[in-house]
Amino acid sequence: MPIAWAEVGIFLTSLFVEVTDMQMCFGEGPDFGGGHNFSEGCDRCTRRQGDGRPLMLYGRPLAEKIGEEVAAGVRRLKERGVTPHLAVILVGDNPSSITYVRMKRNACSRLGLGFSLFHLSEVTTSEELAEKINLLNQDPLVHGILLQHPLPRHIDSVAAFARIAPEKDVDGVGAANFGHLSMGLTAYATATPAAIIDILDYYRLPIEGRHAVVIGRSPILGRPVAMMLLQRNATVTICHSHTVNLPAVVQTADIVVAALGKPRFVQGEWLKPLAVVVDAGYNPGNIGDVDFASCASLASAITPVPGGVGPVTIANLIRNTVRAAEKAAGKAAGARGVHLP
């Protein structure tokens, strides 16, 4: 497959700008040595940078790290004659969804995975969608299935997500995977919530004992990230459209996760000083759910949009697809009585 050098150039340029924009932390005391990038995290980093700016929680460095793991996994699988394959179903022509699908296609191409797109009409019925999912469930060459959301209103999204075979639900949106996740059992964690936790860990921002306020209760974002934070011993409050005095609730949060799909909704005046702000929203015009300018004036750390949660979400999705392919290859080898290293 020919390399899209223009896309590679844009990617490397954006990575260079992000990395060179990081400031150095030279905290106090011998434990800090000669200083380190803010991306490596430390106690002092969480109290805002020396020039008063918040720590920027860029997702690209972590996505690159995950990409290295994925590429190694793809190489091992190809040595066994297996190419991990992601199938994406897109219903309708939502512009944001089209953008996300293109990014996923590019990531698969860059890391050596197979990719198939099934672009269905806006008027596709729930029955027609279920039939397509069933066909992909039965295809042994497809290891991961992603049903791009949001879906048209006339489709029962919960039933559609549940239709995906759990072993191929690499976006972790089905009821089976969510149930396992909620019980602390092994599951494919929903890609975006997992990305949020991964970013907090990558930048060494503490979760245990903190009060996390999640704004949004969707079954594929707000609820699963709340469960993940709870499992990490955070005290979690989920807010939604019926929450009374939302700004007052947000002001109690050490960690704020915005996941409601409304541009620039969360205002800086709502924040507790030095709160950590994770913006999981993506709206037309590259706008998140957080009013970045006002929130950055108080936050100790904040994700940008774009360039924050998004790259890690895609990396997690691809990593889950490779893991699904590894499990399928191991199962097939076991059925043949073959031992794989």
Identify whether residues 209 and 292 lie together within a single domain.
Answer: yes
Alpha helix locations (H) across the chain? Answer: 5-20, 60-79, 95-111, 126-138, 157-163, 175-182, 191-202, 222-231, 246-250, 292-296, 309-335
Identify whether residues 205 and 306 lie together within a single domain.
Answer: yes
Structure confidence at residue 180 as a pLDDT band (50, 70, 90)? confident
Catalytic, 171? Answer yes
CA distance 273 to 4: 44
Could you tell me if residue 333 is inside a domain? no
| Residue 264: Cβ within 10 Å count | 18
CA distance 50 to 83: 48
- Using an 8 Å Cβ cutoff, are 149 and 173 in contact? yes
Identify whether residues 251 and 168 lie together within a single domain.
Answer: no
Q: Which of 151, 169, 188 is the last residue of a domain?
A: 188
- Using an 8 Å Cβ cutoff, are 133 and 147 in contact? yes
Could you tell me if residue 321 is inside a domain? no
CATH number, position 307 = 3.40.50.720
Identify whether residues 94 and 134 lie together within a single domain.
Answer: yes
Does an H or E element contain 119, and which? strand 114-120
Could you tell me if residue 71 is inside a domain? no
The one catalytic residue among 148, 198, 279, 291:
148
Which residue, chain included where needed, has tokens 């994406």? Answer: 88
Of all residues in the chain, what percent carry a pLDDT higher than 90? 71
Q: Which of 139, 163, 188 is the last residue of a domain?
A: 188
Q: Coil, strand, or helix at residue 256?
A: strand
**Picking from 1-5, 129-133, 232-236, which range would have the lowest pLDDT averaged per residue?**
1-5
Over range 146-172, report the average pLDDT.
Answer: 94
The one catalytic residue among 49, 132, 171, 289:
171
Catalytic, 262? Answer no
Could you tell me if residue 64 is inside a domain? no
The one catalytic residue among 104, 279, 289, 291:
104
Domain residues for the domain of 279 are 191-312
Could you tell me if residue 49 is inside a domain? yes
* Predicted pLDDT at 174: 87
Residue 139 in this model has a pLDDT that exceeds 60: yes
Helix 175-182 with 222-231: angle, nearest 10 deg: 20
Identify whether residues 111 and 90 lie together within a single domain.
Answer: yes
Could you tell me if residue 231 is inside a domain? yes
Structure confidence at residue 17 as a pLDDT band (50, 70, 90)? very low
Environment class of 103 (CB within 10 Å of its CB; exposed 0-12, middle 13-18, buried 19+): middle
Structure confidence at residue 48 as a pLDDT band (50, 70, 90)? low
Split into its structural domains, the chain has a count of 3
Identify whether residues 161 and 108 lie together within a single domain.
Answer: yes
Which residue, chain included where needed, has tokens 């991990």? Answer: 84
Whole-angstrom CA distances from 250 to 62, 211, 267 are 27, 10, 10
Identify whether residues 260 and 308 lie together within a single domain.
Answer: yes
Mean pLDDT score of the chain: 85
CA distance 191 to 199: 12
CATH number, position 109 = 3.40.50.10860
Sheet holding 55-56, edge to edge: 55-56, 301-302, 276-279, 255-258, 211-215, 235-239
Structure confidence at residue 9 as a pLDDT band (50, 70, 90)? very low
Residue 2 in this model has a pLDDT that exceeds 60: no
- Phi, psi dihedral angles at 37 (to 5 degrees): -70, 145
Identify whether residues 106 and 163 lie together within a single domain.
Answer: yes
Catalytic, 104? Answer yes
Q: Which of 148, 170, 188 is the last residue of a domain?
A: 188
Does an H or E element contain 239, and which? strand 235-239
CA distance 278 to 290: 9
Identify whether residues 180 and 197 lie together within a single domain.
Answer: no
Residue 129 in this model has a pLDDT that exceeds 60: yes
